[in-house]
Amino acid sequence: MSNELLKYEDLLIGADPEVFLEELLDGEEVTRAISAHGLIPGTKKKPFKVKNGAVQVDGTALEFNIDPAVNAVEFLENVRSVQSTMREMVSSSVKAGGKYGEVRIVAKPSVIYGPNYFKTIPEEALELGCEPDYNAYSGSENPRPKPEGEFERMRTGAGHIHFGWTKGANITDPGHFMDCRILTAYLDRAFMFFEWDKDDRRRLLYGSWGSFRPKSYGMEYRPLSNAWLEDPKLAEGVFYLSKMVGLSVLNAHHLKVGFNDNSPIMSVNSSRDSSNFLNLVSQLNRRPPVDTKEETKLNNFLDALSRSCCYEEWKGSEHPLFNSFNPGGKTVKLPKFTVA
């Protein structure tokens, strides 16, 4: 990072969600998951550029990425625009191919293909090829998933969030790598309070807490599923929480606020030990000024989120959002953050 604190407009937020196709067999009641291979242009190595982003086929799924956004209006419009373009492309391709009946795009965190249909999918579409990602707590590379049994026919849909705060960073640079680890650890502690993703199957393969991938422009945060695509209010919330945590943590790290081998973030391994993040946010009330309307929306969202979350208990804090690690009444334990 440079010697200056990040301003609101300095942190860009992007996303590259994966979605699936379902064929309607009997109205809305009976559906089956089908593979997206061959239906639209674009690959992992060469995404197909469209207005406000790009689209591609990713194995049996569809994937789209959006242009990075400064504010929520841009973020939501980019998501809406690229999704709409993808929907039109799929519809045209399905009609032209004549292989399927009525098809819809769905944002489900995981799907399991029928055993007979799975055998008809080309081998290249079934490959689980993916660049390595890393664990923020250990600092080591995550092992590649090896699905077995029924899970061999399962595919997962992510809703990765991208953070852009720099340019041309060396992804192997220890300083940049630590920035990414610390940001990921704090994002975990914020996002695990959401209850909109009820699917626990996905994390058996991908998206474990702490997953991230360093980028030359910043970082890709990988634990989230695609479930936030189902509701524009959730998508807006994802943007604001990403923006708030990103600015607070990156600027705090820059200011050396509480980050060293003995600091709170390095030793959090209990569902009860979350006051450190609250203290951090409180210390950073003097963070760089931001757009007034955006700040108001951010505060409104955080207040609404903290009221809607099901905590076992709230104990005296300025903001209950970061005062418990009992999301949905379930105790969540995270690994100890270690420094090699």
- SS3 labels along 85-113: HHHHHHHHHHHHHCCCCCEEEECCCEEEC
Where are the alpha helices (H) located in the chain, listed in sequence order?
72-97, 115-118, 123-126, 174-191, 232-254, 264-267, 275-283, 292-308
pLDDT at 150: 78
260: in domain: yes
- If asked whether residues 151 and 272 sit together in one domain, one would say yes
- If asked whether residues 94 and 231 sit together in one domain, one would say no
Give the residues of the chain that fall short of pLDDT 70: 1-3, 27-29, 129, 193-196, 252-340
Residues spanned by the domain of 97: 18-106
Single residue among 106, 127, 152 that ends a domain in this structure: 106
Q: How much of the chain exceeds pLDDT 70, in percent?
A: 70
- If asked whether residues 240 and 157 sit together in one domain, one would say yes
- If asked whether residues 171 and 319 sit together in one domain, one would say yes
How many CA atoms does the CB half-sphere of 66 hold within 13 Å? Answer: 30
Instruction: Give the Cα separation of 171 and 155 in Å (integer).
Output: 28
Single residue among 66, 91, 106 that ends a domain in this structure: 106
- Amino acid (1-letter code) at residue 99: K
6: in domain: no
What angle do helix axes 275-283 and 174-191 make, rounded to 10 degrees? 110
- If asked whether residues 187 and 329 sit together in one domain, one would say yes
Cβ proximity of 298 and 244 under 8 Å? yes
Question: What domain count does the chain have?
Answer: 2
40: in domain: yes
Helix (H, G, I), strand (E, B) or coil at 318: coil
- Amino acid (1-letter code) at residue 88: E
119: in domain: no
User: Shortest CA distance to 234 belongs to which of 197, 208, 190?
Assistant: 197
- If asked whether residues 42 and 82 sit together in one domain, one would say yes
- If asked whether residues 277 and 320 sit together in one domain, one would say yes
54: in domain: yes
- If asked whether residues 70 and 147 sit together in one domain, one would say no
- If asked whether residues 141 and 93 sit together in one domain, one would say no
315: in domain: yes
pLDDT at 288: 36
- If asked whether residues 26 and 161 sit together in one domain, one would say no
126: in domain: no
- If asked whether residues 87 and 32 sit together in one domain, one would say yes
- Amino acid (1-letter code) at residue 128: L
- If asked whether residues 160 and 222 sit together in one domain, one would say yes
DSSP string of 197-218, one letter each residue = ----SGGGTS--TTEEEEETTE
101: in domain: yes
